[in-house]
Structure formats: C-alpha cells, structure tokens
Structure 1
C-alpha cells in the first residue's frame, strides 16, 4: 500500500514559524520582492563583552564604567614590578592593581588575580572568587563563594552563609564603606544593610588543626596610599556620622542593650530608613553597635519572637553603652527581662556561628 502526499502539505507551514518571529510594526509596508524580512533577533541590542569584562590590569587603578545590572568578569589582574623603583631599590616594589566597579551587577566572577584591591557595587546574585591570592575585595552580594584561593581579605555584607572551598588564610570583615548611590543600589538588588551573615562562614574543605578562615570583628584597614586611591574614587572606608551600614565593634559586654523596631515588609526602605535614623542616634550618643539583625517574622518560629506580636518585620540592635544620651525621633522598644530567654534562642538561630 502506498501513500501520496501533496507538496502543498509539506510547504504549508514552512513560512509560518518565521512569521511568528517576524517583527511587525504599525503601518509597516509589505516588503518588496527580494527584500529580506526583519526578525526579532535582528533588533536586539548589540552586546559588547568589553562592557562586562576587566582583564589584564597590572599595577594601576581602573574605575570601570559599564552598563549596570549585568554580569562582570574580572580576570588575570596582578601587581607587577613598578619600573620607577627598579633602579632606586635593591628589590623593586610591587604596586597593587586597584579595580572599582561602582554599579549594581547580576553576578561577578573573579579569576586568577594576584595582589589586587577590588571594590564592587551590590550584586543581585553571587560573587565567585577563584584561583586568586593576596587580594582585598569589598562586596555586598546575595552569596559569596571562594575556591582555590589563598590570603584573601574580604569585606562583605551578605544575607547568606559565605562559602569557601579549597581555600586558606581567608579573612572576613563586616563591610564598612560608602560611596554615592550605594544605598539606592543595595535597595535595587534586594540587599539590606542590617542583615549580614559574615559570622556564619561555611568551609567545604576544613583543615585539621588550623582553620582556613577567620572572621574579624574589627574593620578592614587599608594602607594610607590605598585609602587615598579609594577616596579619590569616592569610596570612603573611615567612619562618618552619615554611615548607613552598621560598623560593628569588637568588645565584650555582659549586659548589652537590645533595642528593636517593628514594621511591615513593604516598602522595604520605610523600616530600613527608621533603623538608619536610630543608628545615627546611637553613634551620636557614644554607644557601640555589637550586632544588628533584619528579619522577616514569617520565617521564624513564633516562640522565638513573642515581642514581635503581629509585625511582619523586625530590626534588632545589640548595643553597648548607656541609653542616657540616646535621643531619637524614631519610636523603638527595648527587650524586657521576660523576653530575654526567647531572645537568646533567636540570636543562636540567626547567627548560626560555625568554627573554621
């Protein structure tokens, strides 16, 4: 038995798939014979990889300008022996490379970098650091991972556990910096200045005897020359009354003060701005910030937060010093003696502290 098919049957849908992707415009005239139709991919904006790549930067400062919101790749940047020192010194001095990208990104990958200072704007996704050594990195991101790294200092604000793997001599610091528009950029990518899980670093390949990482309660310090380079590029590391990211103090206080405010989850910046006002008042009163927490109450066991009542969001301050001089226009509450026991359980849950 044989079957016959008309050529029209095979050709019937041949042009329909193309027509689905063809870009139609209002009042568009039909193309003349021989004129190629235009499709959606013909009208896509051309992407230049150079807008999202930094590579081969050696012993100089680069403030990278590019399109915010996209990925960023930084690779093969190092310090080299500076020629100005070759004749003057027995051992020529190495000058670090400094790379700044003060825009928000979707993801950052740092590969094969040596003796670099890298300052990043907020990242909506992950920052990956691989095969790098003797670097200093300042970043706020949703997740951080290092692999095959040695002697890296990381100033970080991260709402999830930073992760290291096959890495050693990694030192974490609470991020303490500011530059114009940083606050708005953090808000745009969903990062909150009062949430930082830097104390909860997870090591996938722990060493026996000596930890692969430490978490410092002191701020990250730069050399005077490096600090000046950052300052020229609008990045400030030193404390000022206008700070909106808490600067934590390493100190022992057996009787800290716990202050908190409650509010709605949205808009995010409404409760956050109230917390920043309190932060400024705390600094003005001469008090010290030991820790802060910004949490959605729906994600917590209700027995841990009886004081939160029906609020959707809680921002908690752990402070040292006297409340006598604290003057603030924002209403806040203090943890009572009755709520101290559930609070301690809450802090254990939030900190999730791990050893190196």
Structure 2
C-alpha cells in the first residue's frame, strides 16, 4: 500500500512541475489559453494632473475652473483677496489659511473644511460643513447635516441660492438630493462662548449679490453663474418663513437671528 501512495505522490509532483514549466494550459481540441497576470481596477486608473485639484497662494486674482475629473478631493490654500469659482462635483474640499476670499463651489459629496480662514465668503452645497479657527466667515450653504463650528466666531449663515449650467448633473455625481431637508440653519458650536454667540443667521432679505462687488458679479454672470432664488435648484428655506407671512417678508419685516457679537 505504501508503494501505491508513493507512486501517486510522484505522479502528482511531476504534473505540478510540468504545469510550472509551461506558459500555456493545454485544453481539448488542441487550443491553448495564455496565462496573463491579473488586472485589478486600480491598475486601470489613468494618471491625472494633481494641480487641477489644488489652488494655492492666489493674491487678488479671479479663477474660474470646471472640473473634468469629478469626485476628487480639492484644496484651496493660502489665498488672499481672490474670487474663486469651481464647478463640478467633489468628494471633499479643504479651504485653509485664506483671507478675504470669495469662494463659490459645486456640490461636495462629503465635507467642506474651513480652517484658519478669516473674512471669507463661501457658497457651497455639501454633506457636511466644519470650521475651525475661523473668524468673520459668511456661508451661503446647503448642508445635509448640521454645520459645525469650532474655535470660530463672527460666523454668518444663510440658505444657498445658486444656478449654473450642469448643476443638476453635478448634484447627481455628488449623490446629493436638493429636495431633502437643508439643515443649513442648525448650527452646532463645539466651543460656545458664555458671553456671546459665535454665529448668527442672516435675514431673509440678505442675498449673495449683496456680498459681491460689480466686477465680481460680472465675472459670475459671464460664466453663467447666477444667484436668483427662483432659478436655484435648491429651494430657499429660512426659520423666519415659519414665523412671518409671505406678505410680511416681502414688505418691511426684518427677521435676524442675531448673536451678540
């Protein structure tokens, strides 16, 4: 019996050696299948220019960019006194160390992070908004979750009104739904002050155009970016709309959820 097992073992070993020494697997009808190394999904990715996902050290410039490769992380860093328009869809956006910039972005599937920024104006649609070490930031936003601020003060918030060609497709690519509840006004402050509020909601009457000068507004119009509430893909909402009647709001009624700063 031991001899039988030895014969079987030797036969299997010889077959394995034959297989290892051949580059094709013989099959019936005399055909052969070449052996190729496996190809994985990450091997199929094409090289992209990383610079198209980054803007840095702009000073007094106007930049308008439409992303070709959608759903990537985008970074804006170290910019001053610039108007930045970037359409397309993003996975996430980081805005760091910017001063006196006006930034208008397409939909962001994940988070928009504002860090160490001051005197900036931001228009964006996102899954989440987070700020840290910021001051005097005005945000016109759609946010699927509670916007959160940390070590930030003099923050102002308003519901976004934005329209541009391709916006609906950008929303679909970012997997955001403009019709779901917009939680832009439900601010969560991780570091509240006992003396004053670090944030406030702007009044219903406050609009994007109020924060752009004539040249900046013309740049937006020339690139078919508008802020008309009736054209905006995102419905305008505001806590004041639940308090005053529409006639009151169209008249002189002023509603401003104001902090003490």
TM-score range, shorter chain: 0.7 to 0.9
| Residues 1:54 and 1:193: Cα distance change in structure 2 (over 3 Å) | farther
Q: Does 1:243 align with 2:245?
A: no
Given that 1:112 and 1:131 are in contact with CA atoms closer than 8 Å, whether structure 2 keeps it comes out as yes
Structure 2 gaps, min length 5: 1-15, 21-31, 252-256
- SS for the counterpart of 2:217 is helix
The normalised TM-score by structure 1 is 0.54
Structure 2 partner of 1:211: 197
Distance 1:102 1:156 in 2: 15
Q: Does 1:191 align with 2:181?
A: no
Structure 1 gaps, min length 5: 1-11, 17-26, 32-36, 79-95, 257-286, 291-319, 322-352
> Which among 78, 81, 91 is matched to residue 76 of structure 1?
78
* Higher normalized contact order (CA 8 Å, seq sep 6+, divided by chain length): 2
- SS for the counterpart of 1:187 is helix
Given that 2:185 and 2:238 are in contact with CA atoms closer than 8 Å, whether structure 1 keeps it comes out as no
Cα deviation 1:228-257 (Å, max 9, x = unaligned): 221122110234x4333223478577686x
Structure 2 partner of 1:140: 125
Given that 1:161 and 1:198 are in contact with CA atoms closer than 8 Å, whether structure 2 keeps it comes out as yes
| Residues 1:236 and 1:255: Cα distance change in structure 2 (over 3 Å) | closer
Any residues of structure 2 matched to 1:256-267 within 5 Å, and which? none
RMSD: 3.3
Q: Does 1:232 align with 2:222?
A: yes
Any residues of structure 2 matched to 1:19-168 within 5 Å, and which? 40=40, 43-66=44-67, 67-78=69-80, 96-168=81-153
Given that 2:163 and 2:228 are in contact with CA atoms closer than 8 Å, whether structure 1 keeps it comes out as no
Cα deviation 1:243-276 (Å, max 9, x = unaligned): 33223478577686xxxxxxxxxxxxxxxxxxxx
Larger Rg: 2
Q: How many residues matched? A: 219
| Residues 1:42 and 1:236: Cα distance change in structure 2 (over 3 Å) | closer
* Offset at residue 59 of structure 1 (A): 0.7
The normalised TM-score by structure 2 is 0.72
- SS for the counterpart of 1:185 is helix
Distance 1:110 1:254 in 2: 35
